[in-house]
Structure 1
Amino acid sequence: MNGRVNVGCDGGFTAPTAGSPVTSTTIGCATALTSDTNVNLTIEPGVILFGATGQSWLVVNRGNKLTAEGTATRPIIFTSQDNVAGFTTDSSQGQWGGVVLLGRGITTDCTAGGTVAANTCERKTEGAPDLANFGGRDNTYNAGKMKYVQIRYSGFSLATGSELQALTTGSIGSNTELNYIQSHNSSDDGAEFFGGAVNMKYYVATGADDDSIDIDTGAQANIQFALLIQRAGKGDALMEMDSNDNGSDTPRTTIRIANFVGLQSLSSADNDSAALASTLFRGNSDTTLINGVIATPNNECIRMDGRSAATLTARSVVLQCNAAKFLGSTGGTTNYTAQQVATFFGSGSNNNNDAFTTSFSSLFINGANETGVRATDPTTFSSTFTLTDYIGAVKDGSAASSWYAGWTCNSATATLGTSVTGLCTSLPTY
């Protein structure tokens, strides 16, 4: 991939018809589309795609789809030219743009089009020299399917605060399928979801230089089975949930994440605003954590920023933090103290514990202490979730529980078990 690679032309806020043509924002496309281009890029199992330059990125424009469906033994790999040439190391990052899926779901914090109140506005992608639009009114929008996919060494930065991640979604909908995806060494977030409705299962983020998961601008997200593992001394938050401070925008950003493990072993100079909390919930967002383990012994575990009101609900979540454990905020319209954040979390109720000691039998597989925590039924929070009877992402070391193994790549950050693709610094041959 050399520069921006488009899947189809941008069909606009709604699918164009002959009576109401739309001017495409996509480079090299017709100036007036009378229907969606309906391109479906199919990538077969085992294919390796690489960005030839730092500004190379794959964008699936509105009205088109990506079908990237690998298998457990033939994952699809998106990576950099340096990775192909054998020049990457365990600290390599930011060598190409990433994968961007755009749709017609509802977004807030708009930069184009109509108004947020009427849900008639759009946003432009971050982190690209040639921006693309996303947004609409269809939170069921189908941008395609990604399954058994690795995205390595991505994260092109256009400007400070405007970056592409390994996987970026803009207003995709609930009919888009995202399962078994690994982000490795993104120079920004592992995955960032702007607007729309996102359902994802079996997600691995290793070595993200910013957040492992970032949810923004009114996104409605359900994520289950997630391993969030940051490099020692690198990375910002394991999770960041917000709506860019526009507290009056609707819908509010809403995230439900179940059966997860978040690991941040050391303090990092990259932590947000020098506040060393490993999760950050702020700005018009509602977060629900279920059956989770956050192990960050050198940092505070949870920070809440009240520039506009945020909420936190925790069920069967355990924390291993530094002595402070929680952080509040000042200078906003809704300020929180550390004690208020602790109250929101509610240690001692709903099977939550902020004084937990992990006993993982490997880096993230449940040991005796994790097994001893009573789980909460996640299906009561979302019909997209699978019923589980354990906290964390991996119940035990059995083959049935090893959903993360085989299709992922290994690195100094995390050994994820037997790998058909080997180390992330190398490429497989079949």
Structure 2
Amino acid sequence: MTSTLAARSPVPLPDDITVLPGPALLAGLTRGPSLAAHRHQFGALPWIGLDVLQDLVGRVGVRGRGGAAFPFATKLETVARRRRPVVVVNFAEGEPASAKDMALALTRPHLVLDGAVAAARALGAREIHVVLPGERVRVQAAMHLASEERDDRMRIRVHTTTHGFVSGQSRAVIELMSGRPNLPVTAWEPEALSGFAGRPTLLSNAETWAQVGLLALGGASSYRRLGTQVEPGSTLVTLTRTGSATTPEVHEVAFGTPWSEVIRPLAPRTEVLVGGFHGSWTRWETLSSMRVSPTEMLAAGIPLGAGVVHVADAATCPLAFTADVAAYLAGESAGRCGPCVNGLPAIARELRAVVGGHGDPARLSRLTGLVTGRGACAHPDGTSRLVRTALTTLADEVEAHLHGRCGRALDADGRAS
């Protein structure tokens, strides 16, 4: 947005997605997304007291599905200790490769809204704020329709973001709701302490609210029938491929499921980007030896993040693809602090130089270290993670480029084709 390196996303925003039936959130998709179909399948939303809701989300360990995996119970407890709380449902998927919140809007809008209504009732809030992505018109249409169907005696206020990767960041959402530019700002307290209008704000992404809705409707025992003892339940995963004409696929996967059962077998050295544009590169043989477990994946240095798994197409250079992503991210910053204004463009240029065979990987590594932990939001950290893991996982590709031997398809400017 502010950088001269502004570029289109190398993964275009999807118009169409494939949503596969799942065991809980995505069960019974053929019934349709209407409120009547939802109530027929899940029943009426019960009134749940605050103590009961806190016990439910704490007992099964619900964590945020937006990328940070923060415990929802901690947020809820923090907001509950203060007056005049605000409840926010964030559908603003700024990550172009992610489609899981889009999938919920199209197939399970009322499961998401049930979670928010249950929390709002428990907290004594009188309205719910729903934030929609400005660039995903199908999500807007679906949620406007779902909002009009509701019969909760709860006001729903809808906000629509501007286009941009960082528009769905929590503080950017608060700024949008406050009538200011939809960009991140430095915050000295979390939203749960001081968010919209300085009030305690319970803000989570759509999938997190759907998980809360599932708990409110079915209880902890039903929720625990999936997953593991340590990580009960399921999660949504978006599968995409570079250079493929196929639409993104959204899967619901029980925690503890081997990745080899989620993604069809790939060649051992196939490169896989886990977590989206702020994610980590790894090899298929590494990922296929693991389970779908945020805890285990974080410990292995491959956090699940936004729940995106992107597979490099055999004809596309993953290093050039990473350079395209880095250039896009440099152009998508808020432009409000040094690490983004100066650091990300410098990283993107140096990575492009490496792809062109005349860059310095050591300098690139130093640049990523300079911006990590220094931004007002996590945008520099995520971009640095992407680039650092590319330098290690794609080390053979880096060496080939420095010797002019890349065997993948590049255009005249060194971009993935």
Greater helix share, structure number: 2
Greater strand share, structure number: 1
Query: Does 1 or 2 have the higher relative contact order (CA < 8 Å, sep 6+)?
Result: 2
- TM-score, normalised on structure 1? 0.26
- TM-score, normalised on structure 2? 0.27
